[in-house]
Structure 1
């Protein structure tokens, strides 16, 4: 993902109001980020605090996106996560295994190759259907965008309620 830099308007230039939305003239420039690749994500180990809180292994992907985050979530055999909700959207892409995601009052089952959408502020949790095999998924979220705007909230059942 590219970082885009917008030039700040000089205070001597015109001030815009809501009626002037069509007069904005951004001049973006590419700024190369300090990091373009995070190699061997899972070899760095799980993010211990987050993994313990969520009750399943989580691997953070450390790249400089200001809008989208990506993590690798793992579910051990028979494992179920805590119910939680957050103001950011989540899309899960299942890499391996079989399981389910409960979103509010609906439970959807998934397997490798499936994608699951979790709307913002929906109570949800995940579970592994297998007693012998782990499950693994990528979770993509717009959390950094909402964090940068100061509107990201997260509630964990049993901790916050």
Structure 2
């Protein structure tokens, strides 16, 4: 079977096998995610702390995000879907003009290419969430796009 670095073309259709080839990666756990430190570039762009979970998934990503007291992110959109699970705090996510209020224990779905932003409603406590996205899958297909309001693609 072809290795993961191989690019397939239409002549390789016959190489689609009925039985998957199991590959166990070396890294199966990322311990103490937040202790590894913020992702500096992404945190700066998003204007709030973001911690990437560093595992070899080629289809799904996971990050831990935080919103400081009374903080609101920039409006942005992307071609990948997002599911957010709120760990701490309360606030809302505005999705295409619809305000979706959330608190710890809630999950929020953000559709592909929907303008959205997040707001922490507390004046004194941080909000924290886990975000899961199919970004790696779309990046591997070459169709992942992301846009911040007021900035060109």
The normalised TM-score by structure 1 is: 0.84
- Structure 2 equivalent of residue 69 of structure 1: 61
Q: Deviations over 1:4-60 (max 9, x none)?
A: xxx35xxxxx9759xxxxxx6422121110200000000011111100100110000
SS state at 1:31 partner: coil
Q: Deviations over 1:125-152 (max 9, x none)?
A: 0010000000000000000000000000
**Which of 42, 45, 48 is the matching residue for 1:50?**
42
Indicate yes or no: 2:71 matched with 1:111. Answer: no
- Structure 2 equivalent of residue 33 of structure 1: 25
Cα distance between partner residues in 1 of 2:109 and 2:48: 19
The normalised TM-score by structure 2 is: 0.89
Cα RMSD for the two superposed structures: 1.8
Alignment of 1:68-147 (within 5 A): 68-147=60-139
Given the superposition, is the C-alpha separation of residues 16 and 63 from structure 1 closer, same or farther in structure 2, using an over 3 Å criterion?
closer
Cα distance between partner residues in 2 of 1:44 and 1:16: 42
**Which of 141, 146, 149 is the matching residue for 1:154?**
146
Listed as ranges, the gaps of 5+ residues in structure 1 are 1-6, 9-13, 18-23
Cα distance between partner residues in 2 of 1:137 and 1:94: 4
After the TM superposition, which parts of structure 1 deviate over 6 Å for at least 4 consecutive aligned residues? none
SS state at 1:79 partner: coil
Specify the structure having the higher radius of gyration (Cα): 1
**How many residues end up aligned between the 2 structures?**
144
Listed as ranges, the gaps of 5+ residues in structure 2 are 3-10
Please state how far the C-alpha of 1:159 moved relative to its aligned partner: 3.1
